[in-house]
């Protein structure tokens, strides 16, 4: 296995995966900022890190190479020191620092950091006013004064980016290329900077074909993208992923030069609400012919198929009227697939365990899946259906509203 990317399924033997270890950014969450920062509670960092280390350790135990986003971005900046300034400027531009005085104080803080890795960590963590070296020029404008009046109480001048540990979402590996996604929420938009610099400058990843770029106008989030096979990609039309974004991504995948290999995009229309946040929160693939699903979506998904149109660059669209299992079976070239319901037939367990990502499984190979330990009802059912479960401790990680699939981006899977 060389550098680069190779993902043609959701379940082929996982060889390399990218994570982010949650860190100081979670300490910069406060009750007042939880809503806009897309958290429902404040995780206890030390335990969240222990759980995350357990997750990474279990992956390694299965023979998977674990790489960390923060290391890759730092390596990219080390390989191209001239890119460090552009990286800082873009992060400052997108961080909403309007006053020139505060901006230059933050810039100095960034410049004082000894390593690229410390820089990346700081950018994720956010900046408190009491970390800045304040001079008279820092108070030169109204914008500076307003930014700092909060700061006197030790508050944040720049918000943290606490959702980085959901590495599934900001860019998506499809085949040998990558979709640089434009995120739906303001809090997650700066995450794109990391992927953009990684794929521009990292020695192992520069030159990777791009299927979508984060400066396009329509949002797409990676949790909505499932690589069902080398020829077929499933994408959720959701609160997070706009239909127009899928039009653009599908067109590129279907007609890209060099060829992406994708011949069919299935678009699944989801209700626009938080419990159905992404396609991977309502179903994920666990084995060649097994999916775990949120029972509430059965019978209510509208599915469209996008394929090459008659002329170069054209896309033809048709609505599929079969049931979800029939659509998935056809997409995978199988006679049938089994859909295992999160929570079984118990509506309360289904809703509760769904909320804690009960159907957000990460396959390390066909039939062996990582799941959150806390979803005992669903896990019991998955076991009885013959799946091999690797249970990730999840009391704290789950507070960010994402499970093993959301917390990982597959970089390399063996072909099935
Ligand atoms: N692929 C996923 N389901 N990711 C979950 C992301 C959770 C995160 N708090 C957000 O709201 O964006």
Are 271 and 131 in a shared domain? no
Is the CB of 277 within 6 Å of ligand 1? yes
- 312 C-alpha vs ligand 1 centroid, how far in Å? 36
- The average pLDDT across 324-336 equals 96
Are 157 and 188 in a shared domain? no
| Last residue within a domain, chosen from 120, 136, 162 | 162
Q: Has residue 136 got a pLDDT over 70?
A: no
Residue 401 resides in a domain? yes
Residue 307 resides in a domain? yes
Q: Write down the mean pLDDT value for the chain.
A: 94
| 406 in active site | yes
Residue 8 resides in a domain? no
Q: Has residue 152 got a pLDDT over 60?
A: no
Total count of residues recorded for the chain: 416
Is the CB of 278 within 6 Å of ligand 1? yes
- The average pLDDT across 265-270 equals 96
| Last residue within a domain, chosen from 98, 132, 162 | 162
Residues 6+ positions from 94 with CB-CB distance below 8 Å: 189, 190, 193
Q: What is the CATH number of the domain that holds 76?
A: 1.10.3930.10
Q: Going by CA atoms, what residue is nearest to atom 11 of ligand 1?
A: 38
Residue 170 resides in a domain? yes
| Phi and psi based region of residue 333 (left: phi greater than 0; alpha: psi -120 to 50; beta: remaining) | left
- 139 C-alpha vs ligand 1 centroid, how far in Å? 37
- 223 C-alpha vs ligand 1 centroid, how far in Å? 7
Q: What is the pLDDT of residue 94?
A: 96
Residue 2 resides in a domain? no
Side-chain half-sphere of 170: how many Cα atoms within 13 Å? 27
DSSP 3-state of 101: helix
Helices 83-94 + 100-111 axis angle, to 10: 140
Ligand 1 pocket test, pick from 406, 408, 410 with the greatest ligand atom count within 8 Å of Cβ, gives 406
Q: Has residue 32 got a pLDDT over 70?
A: yes
Is the CB of 399 within 6 Å of ligand 1? no
Q: Which tens digits make up the pLDDT trace of 365-392? A: 999 999 999 999 999 999 999 999 999 9
Q: What is the pLDDT of residue 64?
A: 98
Domain count of the fold of the chain? 2
Residue 291 resides in a domain? yes
Q: Has residue 153 got a pLDDT over 60?
A: no
Q: Which tens digits make up the pLDDT trace of 3-12? A: 799 999 999 9
Are 158 and 257 in a shared domain? no
- Give me the long-range contacts of 198-202 (CB less than 8 A, separation at least 24): 198/69, 198/72, 198/73, 198/76, 199/171, 200/76, 200/83, 201/76, 201/77, 201/79, 201/80, 201/83, 202/72, 202/73, 202/75, 202/76, 202/79
Determine the atom of ligand 1 nearest the C-alpha atom of 400.
Answer: 9
CA distances from 209 to 199, 205, 257, 260, 283 (A): 9, 10, 9, 9, 27
pTM for this structure? Answer: 0.96
Is the CB of 19 within 6 Å of ligand 1? no
Q: Going by CA atoms, what residue is nearest to atom 6 of ligand 1?
A: 402
Are 257 and 139 in a shared domain? no
- Using pLDDT thresholds of 50, 70 and 90, give the confidence band for residue 133: confident
- 207 C-alpha vs ligand 1 centroid, how far in Å? 28
Are 126 and 241 in a shared domain? no
* Least confident window among 25-29, 187-191, 299-303, 304-308: 299-303
- Structure tokens given for 367: 């039939």
- Using pLDDT thresholds of 50, 70 and 90, give the confidence band for residue 90: very high
Which domain, by its residues, includes 256?
Answer: 46-66+163-413
Q: Which tens digits make up the pLDDT trace of 177-188? A: 999 999 999 999
Is the CB of 402 within 6 Å of ligand 1? yes
Alpha-helical runs (H) found in 165-242: 186-189, 191-201
- Using pLDDT thresholds of 50, 70 and 90, give the confidence band for residue 2: low
Are 145 and 191 in a shared domain? no
Are 216 and 277 in a shared domain? yes
Is the CB of 240 within 6 Å of ligand 1? no
Residue 38 resides in a domain? no
Are 144 and 201 in a shared domain? no
Are 127 and 228 in a shared domain? no
Q: Going by CA atoms, what residue is nearest to atom 5 of ligand 1?
A: 402
- Using pLDDT thresholds of 50, 70 and 90, give the confidence band for residue 154: low
CA distances from 304 to 246, 315, 414 (A): 11, 12, 28
Q: What is the pLDDT of residue 39?
A: 94
Are 273 and 182 in a shared domain? yes
- 403 C-alpha vs ligand 1 centroid, how far in Å? 9
Residue 34 resides in a domain? no
| Last residue within a domain, chosen from 162, 177, 192 | 162
Helices 83-94 + 116-125 axis angle, to 10: 10
Q: What is the pLDDT of residue 140?
A: 75
Q: Has residue 157 got a pLDDT over 60?
A: yes
Q: What is the pLDDT of residue 97?
A: 87
Is the CB of 166 within 6 Å of ligand 1? yes
Q: What is the pLDDT of residue 276?
A: 84
Q: What is the CATH number of the domain that holds 291?
A: 3.75.10.10
% of the chain surpassing 90 pLDDT = 86
Are 97 and 187 in a shared domain? no
Q: Which tens digits make up the pLDDT trace of 399-416? A: 999 999 999 999 999 999
Are 134 and 219 in a shared domain? no
Q: Interface pTM (ipTM) of the complex?
A: 0.98
Tell which wins on pLDDT, 2 or 315: 315
Q: What is the pLDDT of residue 296?
A: 87
- 232 C-alpha vs ligand 1 centroid, how far in Å? 23
CA atoms of 235 and 238, how far apart (whole Å): 9
């Amino acid at each position: 296995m060389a550098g680069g990317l190779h993902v043609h399924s959701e379940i082929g033997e996982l060889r390399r995966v990218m994570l982010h270890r949650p860190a100081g950014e979670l300490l910069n969450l406060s009750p007042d900022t939880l809503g806009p920062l897309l958290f429902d509670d404040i995780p206890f960092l030390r335990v969240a890190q222990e759980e995350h280390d357990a997750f990474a350790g279990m992956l390694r135990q299965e023979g998977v190479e674990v790489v960390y986003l923060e290391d890759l971005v730092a390596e990219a900046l080390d390989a191209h020191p001239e890119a460090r300034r552009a990286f800082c400027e873009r992060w400052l531009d997108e961080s909403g620092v309007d006053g020139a005085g505060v901006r230059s104080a933050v810039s100095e803080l960034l410049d004082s950091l000894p390593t690229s890795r410390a820089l990346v960590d700081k950018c994720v963590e956010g900046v408190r006013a009491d970390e800045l070296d304040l001079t008279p020029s820092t108070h030169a404008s109204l914008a500076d004064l307003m930014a700092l009046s909060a700061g006197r109480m030790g508050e944040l001048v720049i918000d943290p980016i606490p959702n980085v540990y959901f590495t599934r979402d900001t860019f998506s590996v499809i085949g040998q290329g990558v979709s640089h996604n434009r995120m739906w929420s303001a809090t997650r938009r700066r995450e794109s900077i990391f992927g953009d610099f990684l794929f521009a400058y990292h020695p192992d990843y520069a030159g990777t074909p791009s299927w979508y770029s984060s400066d396009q106008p329509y949002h797409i989030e990676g949790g909505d993208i499932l690589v069902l096979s080398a020829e077929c990609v499933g994408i959720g039309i959701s609160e997070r992923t706009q239909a127009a974004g899928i039009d653009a991504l599908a067109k590129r995948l279907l007609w890209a030069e060099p060829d992406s290999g994708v011949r069919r995009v299935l678009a699944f229309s989801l209700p626009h609400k938080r419990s159905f946040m992404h396609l991977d929160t309502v179903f994920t693939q666990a084995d060649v012919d097994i999916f775990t699903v949120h029972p509430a979506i059965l019978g209510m998904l509208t599915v469209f198929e996008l394929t090459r149109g008659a002329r170069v660059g054209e896309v033809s669209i048709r609505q599929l009227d079969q049931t979800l299992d029939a659509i998935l079976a056809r997409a995978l070239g199988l006679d049938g697939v089994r859909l295992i319901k999160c929570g079984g037939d118990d509506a309360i367990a289904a809703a509760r365990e769904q909320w804690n990502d009960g159907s957000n499984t990460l396959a390390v190979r066909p039939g062996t899946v990582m799941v959150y330990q806390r979803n005992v009802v669903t896990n019991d059912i998955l076991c009885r259906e013959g799946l091999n479960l690797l249970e990730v401790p999840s009391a704290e990680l789950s507070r960010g509203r994402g499970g093993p699939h959301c917390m990982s981006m597959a970089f390399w899977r063996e072909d099935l």
